[in-house]
């Protein structure tokens, strides 16, 4: 349960709260986010002919950035930042970062395994795909910034 190792001690208004862990049948219990992922929320809004206005995107982006800043302060890289891993509460004013299954501490080494294809190419920073990066096994918060830019594009294009 590496995900629980990172998610449970995190305490921030824009990071989903871990409530409990079950090891018998492996699962993690987290707080309920009524509208699911940001990706599906944007698609539902678009399909209902009521997409969010471009001005409504800014507070969403700000909340994601606040969660990222908190992770960087703790020395953690998310490594899987995407609209599918951002959760929406009752409305788009409650935005929380989730899914810490690929998260690592910046000081860890040897955790990047490009050969296993663990990373979604669209959200992974170009420098993380280089042969040099794969050899070093490094992934920094700068890589999460690239992924954040892709999330901004997802917001702007309504999913």
Indicate which residues carry an active-site annotation. 80
E strand or H helix that includes residue 93: none
- The closest alpha carbon to 14, from 59, 61, 64, 60, belongs to 64
Query: 120: Cβ–Cβ under 8 A, 6 or more apart, which residues?
Result: 80, 82
Residue 31, Ramachandran bin (φ over 0: left; ψ between -120 and 50: alpha; else beta): beta
């Amino acid at each position: 349960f590496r995900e629980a190792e990172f998610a449970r001690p995190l305490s921030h208004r824009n990071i989903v709260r871990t409530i409990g862990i079950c090891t018998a049948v492996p699962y993690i219990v987290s707080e309920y986010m009524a509208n699911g992922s940001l990706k599906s929320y944007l698609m539902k809004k678009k399909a209902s002919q009521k997409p969010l206005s471009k001005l409504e995107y800014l507070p969403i982006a700000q909340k994601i950035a606040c969660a990222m800043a908190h992770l960087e302060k703790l020395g953690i890289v998310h490594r899987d930042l995407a609209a599918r891993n951002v959760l929406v509460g009752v409305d788009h004013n409650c935005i929380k970062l989730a899914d810490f299954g690929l998260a690592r501490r910046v000081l860890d080494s040897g955790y990047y395994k490009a050969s296993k294809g663990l990373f979604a190419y669209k959200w992974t920073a170009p420098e993380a795909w280089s042969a040099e990066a794969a050899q070093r096994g490094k992934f920094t918060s700068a890589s999460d910034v690239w992924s954040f830019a892709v999330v901004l594009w997802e917001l702007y294009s309504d999913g």
